[in-house]
Every structure is written in C-alpha cells, then in structure tokens.
C-alpha cells in the first residue's frame, strides 16, 4: 500500500486470473454459500488486492455466480466489507473445456511440472485458449479507466493475454506472474505452439517466476526458439522493439495470516481435532493438505508412511497420517484416477498395518475452508509437503505461519520452490519412499527444543518475506520502469 501510494500515485491496478477469489455455490436448500477456493494463487493475491484496491477480472466459476451479481457482472469483495471490485467473465462449457481443462490443464500443466504425466496438445483446445485469452484482454481494456494501468496477469491460463493487451494499451505496465515451474528448453520444445506462448508472455513489461532457476529456464527457452536480443546482465529480453524484464519474486502468504484469527490455543486444538478424527488423545498426528493433484506427491507420501511403519513397527497404533485432499479438475481422467488410486492405496496400507480399530492413514477427500486447515496444522506434530515439482507451495508456508507455539516439524520436498527458502525443514526426495519413511521417523523423534529452533527461523523467514513484500517488490520494479519510460519519452 505504501509502495503504491508513494511510488505509483494515482495508478490504476487491474488483476487478471482464471480463478476467482470467492465462489458462490447454490446449496440444495437454494441458499448461496460463499466459498474460498483451494488455490495458492488466491491465498497470495487476495490479501494484496484487498490492500491495494482496484479491479480483479476472473472467470465466474460457481454454479450460482451468475445470479449473485448485478447486471454488469461486477461485485464488491470481500463480501462483508468490499475494498475492490470483482469483475466476472463468463465462459461457455465448450470454452472452459478447451481453454481450462484442455490446453491449460492437460497441456501446459503436465508440460511445466514434469511429473511424468504426458501432456496432451489438441488444435481445438489451442483455438479456445487463444479466444478466451482474447476475452480476458478485451475485459482489461473495457475496465481500464486510464491508458496506462498496471495490469497484474496471473498464471499459465493467460500466456497470450500480455501481448494482446500490449497491442491495445501500449502504455500499460504489464506484470505477468507464472505460478508454476518453467521447464528446461528441451521440455518446453514439446509444445506445438511454443513460439506463440513465448511471444504472448513477452508482451509483458515484467515477467515473474518464483525462483531464479525458472527465470533461467525461461531465458534459455527464448534463446533457443526466438529471434530476440537477450541482455544477460539485466536479465531482459527485447523482441520487436519491446523489452521484458525477467525476475524472480518468491510468492508468500499474508502475515499474520487471517486464518489464525479466532484459533483456539494449540493444546485445546490438539484435543478437539483428535476427537473429531476418532483418534486417541496421545496419538502423534501427521497432516498433508492439498488439492487432489498428481504433482503433489500424495501417493508418494502414503508410500513413505508405509515404509516408516514397515521399518519401525513399534509406531503402529501411535501415529496417524491425515491427508486432506480437495477434489479438483475432476472432469479430467488423470485427476479422477488419482483419487481412486489414493483411496485404494490408503485401504491397502491400512489393511497391512492397521489393527484393533487403529488405521495409519485417514483420507479426507473434501474441500476444507482456511480456518479448518489451520486447525489441522495446529493439531499436528508434523506436516508433509511432498510435491514432485512445485513452483513454490504455500501449504508449507501456511503450516509454519500457523505454529505460533513454535512447535511441529515440516517435511518438505526438495522439488518445491519453498525448499529454497525453508531450509530448516526436513528436506526429502519424495520419489524415495524409504528416505521419506526415515524422515518421518526423524520428525517424530525430534525434541521440542530442536523443533522450536527450526520453526523460529522458518517463521522469521515467512514473516519477513510475506506476500506484501512479494507484491511490493513487483510494484516497486514497475514504478522504476514507469519512471524510466517517462524520461525516455521526454528525450
């Protein structure tokens, strides 16, 4: 807010993403329930947009969304005390299938994550991806009250929009943030429309990734496939007279997190959560909280629990692992199959080790609101984040933020961007079930003093590098760029 007020006086901010920050679902009794989607993008961007104000353009995804907004599709949010405008854009089922499920989630998602799920590229999906990106670009132009707004474009759903907006609003400052990994150039070369995707992104003024590693991968990809000028000193790329800066901005969460408000003290939460899960009061609890996505390594962490109990059978009856998995993208077979596989694997492991009413794995396959998620974090002795590949992973940071008692152990995949920042976690290779079993054992054996030391450092890190800093840094870079461009226009 301070950065905006001082550095960008009178600026107009427009956020653009596929996912909307609030979903309106109609319940069976006809009433409307407002839900917060399970999305790292939303958790990070919502508090920032609240603080900055402005307009957020997103796809209206809930069944009751259409009825819950006024005639011109705008609604003030957050619902209780509006500070910004949510402008919803409606897509047909056909558009949603081609653009979101097809090109974005069967093509780009597996391509960029390299989780050994084959990407699928269809010409028909690509056509919808292009036309839906046009729709978003047009909505930005329609919403812009000035010729030079600051447009914050989010994620792989909207790779073509930066160029489309640049063509219509040449003086806009366009900051695009890519929330998922960018793979090496050889892998990205698989995409039949790689040049178009890169060209679209290079309509941005600034292109952000979570880590320097992903910036480097992007620059190498451009070098390999495009006729452009790359300045390695400043990490900028010039294409057809327009310059784009490529920068790392590690995303984070709000601090203190809103979901911490109203939480009961940890000892009380430990008891109530164990009661709710039907566990004995002194059982050690591990948690994993995810969307049901094959990049998250949900099966792998279950195999880790299996390996742990095989190696250390004296823990049988004394440890339980609760996996929350929110159903997601269920229209796609790869996601449905994962849920079925996870259920079968949990049954198999429970049958192998379970006895006398005790089962080692509890699979809770439903959406949990942020305060329920924080409750589970606070009741847990350890949290496992075992992504096979992840841009950042905010679950890891949320777990740390939830533990104001400075207890609990984070087991974190070496392949999540978060592992570069949270090095006091127990870092693990999720592909190695035996190693994961050993790490679970190490976590359960860790004394309270060591837990405190590690947790303290991680909490300081997340507090200092919170999401306001993430957004603030991008906006400060945007302000510098705007000043530079103004001066250049005077010369």
Q: How far is the CB of 311 from ligand F6P (least distance, A)?
A: 33
Q: How far is the CB of 152 from ligand F6P (least distance, A)?
A: 14
Q: How far is the CB of 394 from ligand F6P (least distance, A)?
A: 8
* String of contacts with ligand F6P for each residue 30-59, x by CB under 6 A: ---------xxx------------------
**Residue selected from 328, 387, 402, 451 as contacting ligand F6P according to rule CB under 6 A:** 328
What are the C-alpha distances in Å from 220 to residues 188, 203, 214, 274, 359? 10, 18, 10, 50, 48
210 near ligand F6P, judged by CB under 6 A: no
Pick 40 or 107: Cβ nearer ligand F6P = 40
Q: How far is the CB of 157 from ligand F6P (least distance, A)?
A: 8
* String of contacts with ligand F6P for each residue 229-268, x by CB under 6 A: ----------------------------------------
Pick 40 or 60: Cβ nearer ligand F6P = 40
Q: How far is the CB of 151 from ligand F6P (least distance, A)?
A: 18
Pick 387 or 451: Cβ nearer ligand F6P = 387
Pick 19 or 247: Cβ nearer ligand F6P = 19
Q: How far is the CB of 480 from ligand F6P (least distance, A)?
A: 27
Pick 176 or 328: Cβ nearer ligand F6P = 328
Site for ligand F6P in 373-392 (CB under 6 A): 391
Pick 59 or 482: Cβ nearer ligand F6P = 59
Pick 188 or 209: Cβ nearer ligand F6P = 209
Pick 99 or 308: Cβ nearer ligand F6P = 99
Is residue 291 within 8 A of residue 41, CB to CB? The reply is: no
Q: How far is the CB of 154 from ligand F6P (least distance, A)?
A: 7
Please state, in angstroms and rounded to a whole number, the distance separating the CA atoms of residues 75 and 306: 48
Pick 84 or 335: Cβ nearer ligand F6P = 335
397 near ligand F6P, judged by CB under 6 A: no
Please write down the long-range contacts of 120-126, taking CB distance under 8 Å and 24 or more positions apart.
121/190, 121/191, 121/192, 121/193, 122/98, 124/98, 125/97, 125/98, 125/99, 126/192, 126/193
19 near ligand F6P, judged by CB under 6 A: yes
Pick 155 or 381: Cβ nearer ligand F6P = 155
Q: How far is the CB of 287 from ligand F6P (least distance, A)?
A: 18
Task: Give the residue among 35, 45, 50, 34 at the shortest CA–CA distance from 82.
Answer: 50
Please state, in angstroms and rounded to a whole number, the distance separating the CA atoms of residues 66 and 75: 11
Q: How far is the CB of 38 from ligand F6P (least distance, A)?
A: 7
Pick 42 or 376: Cβ nearer ligand F6P = 42
Task: Give the residue among 30, 392, 427, 463 at the shortest CA–CA distance from 214.
Answer: 392
Q: How many residues bind ligand F6P (CB under 6 A)?
A: 10
Q: How far is the CB of 179 from ligand F6P (least distance, A)?
A: 4
Site for ligand F6P in 146-185 (CB under 6 A): 155, 179-180
Question: Which residue has the CB atom at the shortest distance from ligand F6P?
Answer: 41
Q: How far is the CB of 483 from ligand F6P (least distance, A)?
A: 31
Binding site for ligand F6P (CB under 6 A): 19, 39-41, 155, 179-180, 328-329, 391
């Amino acid at each position: 807010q301070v950065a905006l007020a001082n550095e960008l006086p009178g600026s107009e901010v427009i956020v653009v993403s596929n996912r909307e920050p609030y979903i309106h679902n109609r319940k069976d009794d006809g009433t409307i329930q407002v839900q917060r989607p399970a999305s790292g993008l939303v958790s990070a961007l919502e508090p920032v947009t609240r603080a900055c104000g402005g307009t957020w353009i997103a796809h209206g995804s809930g069944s009751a969304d259409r009825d819950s907004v006024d005639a011109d599709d705008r609604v003030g949010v957050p619902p209780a005390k509006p500070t910004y405008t949510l402008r919803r854009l409606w897509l047909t089922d056909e558009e949603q299938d081609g653009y979101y499920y097809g090109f974005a989630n069967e093509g780009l998602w597996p391509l960029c994550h390299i989780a050994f799920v084959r990407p699928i590229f269809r010409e028909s999906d690509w056509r919808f991806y292009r036309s839906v990106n046009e729709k978003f670009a047009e909505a930005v132009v329609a919403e812009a009250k000035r010729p030079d707004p600051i447009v914050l474009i989010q994620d792989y759903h909207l790779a073509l929009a930066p160029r489309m907006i640049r063509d219509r609003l040449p003086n806009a400052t366009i900051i695009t943030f890519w929330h998922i990994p960018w793979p090496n150039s050889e892998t990205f070369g698989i995409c039949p429309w790689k040049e178009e995707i890169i060209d679209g992104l290079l309509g941005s003024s600034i292109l952000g990734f979570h880590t320097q590693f992903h910036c480097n991968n992007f620059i190498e990809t451009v070098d390999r496939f495009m006729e452009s000028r790359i300045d390695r000193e400043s990490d900028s790329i010039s294409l057809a007279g327009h310059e784009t800066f490529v920068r790392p901005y590690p995303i984070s969460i709000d601090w203190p997190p809103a979901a911490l408000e109203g939480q009961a003290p940890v000892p009380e939460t430990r008891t109530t959560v164990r009661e709710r899960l039907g566990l004995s009061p002194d059982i050690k609890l591990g948690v994993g909280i995810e969307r049901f996505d094959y990049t998250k390594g949900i099966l792998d962490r279950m195999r880790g629990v299996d390996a742990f109990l095989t190696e250390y059978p004296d823990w049988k009856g004394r440890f339980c692992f609760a996996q929350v998995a929110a159903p997601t993208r269920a229209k796609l077979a790869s996601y449905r199959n994962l849920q079925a596989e996870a259920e079968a694997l949990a049954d198999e492991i429970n049958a192998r080790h379970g006895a006398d009413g005790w089962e080692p794995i509890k699979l809770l396959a439903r959406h949990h609101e942020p305060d329920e998620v924080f409750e589970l974090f606070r009741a847990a002795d350890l949290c496992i984040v075992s992504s096979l590949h992840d841009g950042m992973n905010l679950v890891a940071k949320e777990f740390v933020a939830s533990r104001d008692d400075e207890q609990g152990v984070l087991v974190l995949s070496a392949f999540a961007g978060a592992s570069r920042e949270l090095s006091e976690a127990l870092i693990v290779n999720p592909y190695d079930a035996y190693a994961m079993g050993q790490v679970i054992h190490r976590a359960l054996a860790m004394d309270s003093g060591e837990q405190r030391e590690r947790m303290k450092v991680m909490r300081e890190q997340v507090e200092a590098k919170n999401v306001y800093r993430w957004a603030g840094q991008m906006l400060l870079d945007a302000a510098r760029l705007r000043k530079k461009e103004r001066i250049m226009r005077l010369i």
